[in-house]
Amino acid sequence: MAERKRILSSHSKEIVYNVSKFFESMIQPTSTPVKAHTERAAEATLVSEATIRRIRREKNEKGRLFSPERQKVRGPYKPVDDFDKCAIRQKIHEFYTVRRQLPTIDRLYESLKCDIYFPGGKSLLLKIVKELGFKWKRSQTKRKVLIEKDAIVEKRIQYLNRIKDYRKKGMNLVYIDETWIDTAYTAKKCWQHEDECGLNLRLHEIQFDNKLLRPQLLALAKANNQTPKYVIDNIARERGHDILRLPPYHPDLNPIELIWNQVKQSVASRNVTHRIDDVLKLAHEAVADITVSDWEKTCRHVAIIEEEYRKRDIVIDEQMERLIIDLADSSDSDSDNDDNV
């Protein structure tokens, strides 16, 4: 078996180089070839002659010796699911409402490592908080802190107000959702219909040329910047139904998501073959185990979450004035260089 190649640091290289120079100085250059110096240095340092020649060449060409760059060893990737993301949002809110501290990435990362065993590093956390609709603002201490985008907060407040009104009126609430499950728990991709942009423009009665390409249609829709209208909303309204959409990035407000998470946990705990037929069987069994009582408890739990969001939004709004200055004038930063803020 071939001997494993050794990696020499700059300090080790310096020792090898000095040993080589020592043997060179001890022998008369007129009587002994340079190769003999290298052989004796190789025997003394237990490195190959080729390595000694490379070290001497590096020293002569660059004037100093360098340690090789170490490659980072990455562990297996552990996906962050929607409920972990909800926990991240709640943890950011907790900094304002409970700890009364500014939520920086460093503080958030350390807290999540302890509370939910966050599987990634700060770069992954930065990516997730941006996906959740958070941005950077300058604090009184000149440090950048995370706050939720106004558009996300506004949509959440609108949703909470409307569903509270529905509950007060005793209206029947019907939740719908789409989800997936397979042997590896990977989501399926779908293609958006190429005429969807044109349909949205027609719903807003915006004139456009049918020959426009998709990027041009998107630019036209963005320029008009109107709230999207959906055909299904009109169909439902004609039949006496009202459609209320969840605010972005809030799966914890949908009981189906909570029940489905229970199903997936059950499948994951018993999935030993990773065969699709077995996974389907386990999924059917897990769904069959869900009782009416489970649904009732989940719906009550969602109502509690709604109330918690209402209370947190009020507290955060009050704390924001005390902790953050010049929100309207400060510039947002989406740079990944904010890891250590």
Question: What local confidence, expressed as pLDDT, does residue 56 receive?
Answer: 86
Find the mean pLDDT for residues 201-220: 67
Find the mean pLDDT for residues 112-140: 85
Question: What local confidence, expressed as pLDDT, does residue 66 receive?
Answer: 78
Question: What local confidence, expressed as pLDDT, does residue 42 receive?
Answer: 80
Find the mean pLDDT for residues 258-275: 86
DSSP-derived 3-state class of residue 290: coil
CA pair distance 318, 192, nearest whole angstrom: 41
Query: Has residue 5 got a pLDDT over 80?
Result: no
Residue 70 — very low, low, confident or very high, per pLDDT cuts 50/70/90?
Answer: low
Query: Has residue 237 got a pLDDT over 60?
Result: yes
Question: What local confidence, expressed as pLDDT, does residue 323 receive?
Answer: 60
Calculate Rg over the CA atoms of the chain: 31
Q: Left (φ > 0), alpha (ψ -120 to 50) or beta: where does 142 sit?
A: left
Pick from 17, 133, 6, 117: nearest CA to 64? 17
DSSP-derived 3-state class of residue 302: helix
Query: Has residue 19 got a pLDDT over 50?
Result: yes
Of residues 190 and 240, the one with the higher pLDDT is 240
Q: Where are the alpha helices (DSSP H) in 194-291?
A: 196-203, 214-224, 231-238, 255-270, 276-288
Q: How far is CA 189 from each of CA 131, 180, 192, rounded to the nearest angstrom?
A: 18, 11, 10
CA pair distance 176, 13, nearest whole angstrom: 66
Q: What is the DSSP letter of 315?
A: H
Residue 302 — very low, low, confident or very high, per pLDDT cuts 50/70/90?
Answer: very high
Q: Which two tokens stand for residue 255?
A: 């009981």
Alpha-carbon torsion (207, 210, 213, 214), positive or negative: positive
The answer to whether 145 and 137 have CB atoms below 8 angstroms apart is yes
Question: What local confidence, expressed as pLDDT, does residue 339 receive?
Answer: 42
Q: Which residues are CB-contacts of 144 (< 8 A; sequence separation ≥ 6)?
A: 104, 136, 137, 138, 333, 338, 341
Residue 306 — very low, low, confident or very high, per pLDDT cuts 50/70/90?
Answer: very high
How far is Cα of residue 158 from the mean position of the Cα atoms in its chain? 26
CA pair distance 128, 108, nearest whole angstrom: 12
Tens-digit pLDDT profile for residues 310-324: 999 988 887 776 665
Q: Which residues are CB-contacts of 155 (< 8 A; sequence separation ≥ 6)?
A: 247, 248
Of residues 196 and 109, the one with the higher pLDDT is 109
Question: What local confidence, expressed as pLDDT, does residue 272 receive?
Answer: 85
Q: Which two tokens stand for residue 165?
A: 């009104």
Of residues 13 and 77, the one with the higher pLDDT is 13
Question: What local confidence, expressed as pLDDT, does residue 32 receive?
Answer: 52
Question: What local confidence, expressed as pLDDT, does residue 291 receive?
Answer: 94
CA pair distance 315, 307, nearest whole angstrom: 13
Query: Has residue 90 got a pLDDT over 60?
Result: yes
